[in-house]
Structure 1
Amino acid sequence: MTDAPARANIKVTTSPWGPEDQLGALNYLDPARAAHVLARADGRRVYDLSIDYFVGMPSFQAAGDPAYQLFMSHTPQGTVVDNLNGVGSEVNRHVCYSGDVVFMYTHTGTHIDALNHFGVDGEIYNNFKVDEHLGSRNWTRGGAEQIPPIVTRGVLFDVAGLKGVDCLDPSYAISIEDLQGCLERIGTELQAGDVALIRTGRMAFWPDGSKVLGNPPGVGLAAARWLTEQKIAAVAADQECVEVGPSEQEDNWLPGHCHFLAEAGVPMIELIDLEELARDGVNECAFIAAPIRLRGASGAPLRPLAIPFHPTT
């Protein structure tokens, strides 16, 4: 059962950082705080929070987006036969040349949603309008290239662990009380500029697409609004959309996306692997991540890293 409001009533927000701002909540990132976080990091262990990309991997295709594909464009023997570089068979037999091409939806695998990914009534965050800022190929505002390297504190919200389960039930809506319970359990508070890492337990099933995609447990709208009120820089989750699905609001099919991106200016990181952090009890960490700078794109692949804090700090 849920007490979620029937309507989300989400509106695009004007940035408090000015009419040209394209960073949104990433403005909460602070170089001095980043230095402090890195000074606390214990570099003897680095957790890679990303997943592999491979042909046949689970991905969002429900709206017609393509599956991940990789094609070799050059092979060692093919180069000998084709001689496309014009250097002849002897040299090409000596130099073993391979190359490939990737074709994918930008919201495949571990990735970050840029602020132009979702909007409301023809506008994205900071009132950038479709008829003024969307060209034939891409947005001219709010794209993935605007996202700077993220170096800050990551805080693990192990909701599955709080509930004593391996994985939350399908379509479980994470509440404010759940999030606050996670913080109480680990004895910390969210601070401005943190990245909230939400664990539902679904990544334990990766790459079984029948268990990691569809009807995701995730953050309910009230909990999403509570998170952004804490001035987080970004939010991340171990499932495909951060928020609970299907939508609990009748006026919006992805209200969490619209709130995080268009209303709060908070980038969303999806399909992040938090299993090792939870297993090892790493509840706070130095969080480091940077997307590929795809100009104008609504999302980009991301390789997040987590470095535990030194036990004496």
Structure 2
Amino acid sequence: MAPIADIKVATSPYGPDDQLGALNLMTAGSQAAIMSRADASTVYDLSVDYFVGMPSFQAAGDPSYQIFMSHTPDGTVVDNLNGAGAEVNQRVCYSGDVVFMYTHTGTHIDALNHFGVDGKIYNNFSAAENLGSRHWTKGGVEQIPPIVARGVLIDVADLHGVPCLPDSYAITVEDLQKALEKAGLALRSGDVALVRTGRMRHWPDGSKVLGAPPGLGLDACRWLTAQSIIAVASDQECVEVGPSQHEDNWLPGHCHFLAEAGVPMIELVNLEELSRDRVTELCFLAAPIRLRGASGAPVRPMAMALRD
């Protein structure tokens, strides 16, 4: 294990009020261009279901996913909480529910306020000035617009000829470059990079999906952002390799992507069907729930192959 290379919170080149970071590279023109090439005959759903007992990150004390019925057809007849009366409630079957979970559960996106360095998040917004009793006032997930962009599948598991990379395998710059070369593709400014480790083939077996994830080493993280990507996604719990290879930072990739590069991270993305069908260049669509100030939110990414 080695000390981490210097990571600093970046000042946005888009001005002191900027909360979009790399997403500024996505424009109406770039969205229209990629949508014009999308083959809508097959739409790939890259998300997972939410259910009680699903694998989720709880190592730092965060809660598991829970769902409770707040209204049931028979219960509504008994308690009449809607005030409609027994006769109406016996005819109208009313159901409602409540969900309780950590915002970084299942397929989700990390906002720029999720990780920072020395008390500041991307664009030098400080916790002292921008963090209230409930949430951040800057860098929240509601700032992330619907993402419509060229996506590139970087299939590192396929490169190595394995169903899934070994636990704690650190993906290198060479791995990324060789996987792209094998696919005959290159990353471009404004792309979303989707890195496949193969972990999602084990979903929803928590004993195989979570813990000691294969993922990006810090040099590989930095190489990706140097290609001017607007977001990074992976099929495991934290995009980067775990445990950390650096003694002074437990999630250096998060600090780099979010605080240093202003690049949102999308985690637990199901890339198995894209890999199976050899869809490596795609139209990528994703939009998070707009939870004001939150550090993350569920997201349902979708993909379509591109026409030539």
Structure 1 and Structure 2 fold alike (TM over 0.5): yes
1:181 maps to 2:178? yes
Q: CA deviation at 1:28?
A: 1.0
Equivalent residue number for residue 161 of structure 1: 158
1:17 maps to 2:11? no
Q: How does 1:188-199 map to 2 (within 5 A)?
A: 188-199=185-196
SS of residue matched to 2:200? helix
1:95 maps to 2:62? no
Contact map agreement 1:48 1:305 (CA 8 A) in 2? yes
Equivalent residue number for residue 76 of structure 1: 73
Q: CA deviation at 1:8?
A: 3.1
In structure 1, how many angstroms separate the alpha carbons of the residues matched to 2:3 and 2:78? 64
In structure 1, how many angstroms separate the alpha carbons of the residues matched to 2:201 and 2:39? 26
**Which of 267, 273, 276 matches 2:273?**
276
Q: CA deviation at 1:5?
A: 4.9
1:233 maps to 2:230? yes
Letter aligned with residue 265 of structure 1: G
SS of residue matched to 1:78? helix
Contact map agreement 1:8 1:252 (CA 8 A) in 2? no
Q: CA deviation at 1:226?
A: 0.2
Equivalent residue number for residue 110 of structure 1: 107
1:146 maps to 2:181? no
In structure 1, how many angstroms separate the alpha carbons of the residues matched to 2:232 and 2:4? 23
Equivalent residue number for residue 121 of structure 1: 118
1:40 maps to 2:41? no
Q: CA deviation at 1:31?
A: 1.5
Equivalent residue number for residue 267 of structure 1: 264
Equivalent residue number for residue 282 of structure 2: 285
4+ runs deviating over 6 angstroms: none
**Unaligned 5+ runs, structure 2:** none
Equivalent residue number for residue 253 of structure 1: 250
Equivalent residue number for residue 218 of structure 1: 215
Equivalent residue number for residue 206 of structure 1: 203
In structure 1, how many angstroms separate the alpha carbons of the residues matched to 2:130 and 2:252? 23
In structure 1, how many angstroms separate the alpha carbons of the residues matched to 2:253 and 2:81? 50
SS of residue matched to 1:181? helix
In structure 2, how many angstroms separate the alpha carbons of the residues matched to 1:128 and 1:84? 45
Q: CA deviation at 1:84?
A: 1.0
SS of residue matched to 2:70? strand
SS of residue matched to 2:266? strand
* Shift in CA distance, 37/52, structure 1 to aligned 2, threshold 3 Å: same
Equivalent residue number for residue 49 of structure 2: 52
Q: Which stretch of structure 1 is more off in the superposition, 25-34 or 120-129?
A: 25-34
Equivalent residue number for residue 167 of structure 2: 170
Contact map agreement 1:150 1:290 (CA 8 A) in 2? yes
Give the TM-score normalised by the residue count of structure 1: 0.97
Write out per-residue CA displacement over residues 169-204 of structure 1, whole angstroms, 9 at most, x where no aligned residue: 000000000000011011111011100000000000
SS of residue matched to 1:93? helix
Q: Which stretch of structure 1 is more off in the superposition, 35-44 or 108-117?
A: 35-44
SS of residue matched to 2:63? coil
Write out per-residue CA displacement over residues 97-118 of structure 1, whole angstroms, 9 at most, x where no aligned residue: 0000000000000000000000
Q: Identity, % of aligned pairs?
A: 73
Write out per-residue CA displacement over residues 21-65 of structure 1, whole angstroms, 9 at most, x where no aligned residue: 000011111211111111111110000000000000000000000
**Unaligned 5+ runs, structure 1:** none
